[in-house]
Structure 1
Amino acid sequence: MASPEMKPSETPPSYLPSSDERMWGLLAHLSPLIASGMGLPFLGPLIIWLIKKDESPFIADQAKEALNFQIAVLLAVMICAATVIGILLLPIVAVGALIYSIMAAMEANKGVYYRYPYTLRFIK
């Protein structure tokens, strides 16, 4: 029987991450905050995914998820920057990206296979 917080159609993942893997998942979601200073927020998740994807399905999944989200945020920023009204929306996009990244990091630290809302999955 499924746990009360799971929807009936969902099945629990067959792989449970270790504490080290959960830490790497957390870093995959928080690394864009550091890399944003260089203007390349997708660089952190990309590096983690390339280095760790063969070691753990959890790390690979969370790094890909963070990478896809950061690419979607980058596209949103580029579209907003192209229009006068869009420039007014840039702070909203930035705050949203920050909040969702922190939420994803906290969930990954719990071992949850987190999925960002409002994102495109470029890398599958």
Structure 2
Amino acid sequence: MEEQSFSSPVTTPSQDSKNIALLVWIGTIFFGFIPALIVYLIKTDDAYVADQSKEALNWSITVIIGVAIAWVLCLILIGFLILPVIGILNLVFCILGALGASSGKLFRVPFAIRLIK
């Protein structure tokens, strides 16, 4: 079997880029899509920050869709079980994103709906 190599848009991000991406992922835990949207619109010149803010924004949109579906499912009592799972997944993936951003890696959330390309 042959391994595929994936090219990254940025070879080595600067420490400032890592810090901004880290703050985007941590901000996503507490403020949802707002930090990722602000950084995505402002920091268009930095490829690493733009990529990570786009990924955090896609994840936030996925969480919002999941919460909306869970609230509808609360009518048949299944949503009350799904809401805590969404909250735990949000926390775990945001922490993994923050750890990846602090080390300069491109982090991808496996379950995110990629609406923003």
TM-score, normalised with respect to structure 1: 0.85
Structure 2: give runs of 5+ residues left out of the alignment.
none
Q: Among residues 15, 18, 27, which one is paired with 2:14 in the alignment?
A: 18
Residues 70 and 80 of structure 2 are in contact (CA less than 8 Å); yes or no, is this contact kept in structure 1?
yes
Which residue identity is paired with 2:110?
Answer: P
C-alpha separation in 2, matches of 1:67 and 1:8: 30
Q: How far apart are 1:12 and its partner, in Å?
A: 4.5
Q: Which residue of 2 aligns with 1:8?
A: 3
Residues 9 and 47 of structure 2 are in contact (CA less than 8 Å); yes or no, is this contact kept in structure 1?
no
C-alpha separation in 2, matches of 1:96 and 1:47: 23
Q: Among residues 42, 45, 50, which one is paired with 2:33 in the alignment?
A: 42
Aligned residues: 112
Q: Among residues 92, 97, 109, which one is paired with 1:99 in the alignment?
A: 92
Shift in CA distance, 14/42, structure 1 to aligned 2, threshold 3 Å: closer
C-alpha separation in 1, matches of 2:109 and 2:78: 25
Residues 9 and 48 of structure 2 are in contact (CA less than 8 Å); yes or no, is this contact kept in structure 1?
no
Residues 100 and 107 of structure 2 are in contact (CA less than 8 Å); yes or no, is this contact kept in structure 1?
yes
Q: Detail structure 1 runs of 4+ shifted over 2 Å in the superposition.
A: 10-15
- What is the root-mean-square deviation of aligned Cα atoms in Å? 1.4
Structure 1: give runs of 5+ residues left out of the alignment.
1-6, 36-40
C-alpha separation in 1, matches of 2:103 and 2:96: 11
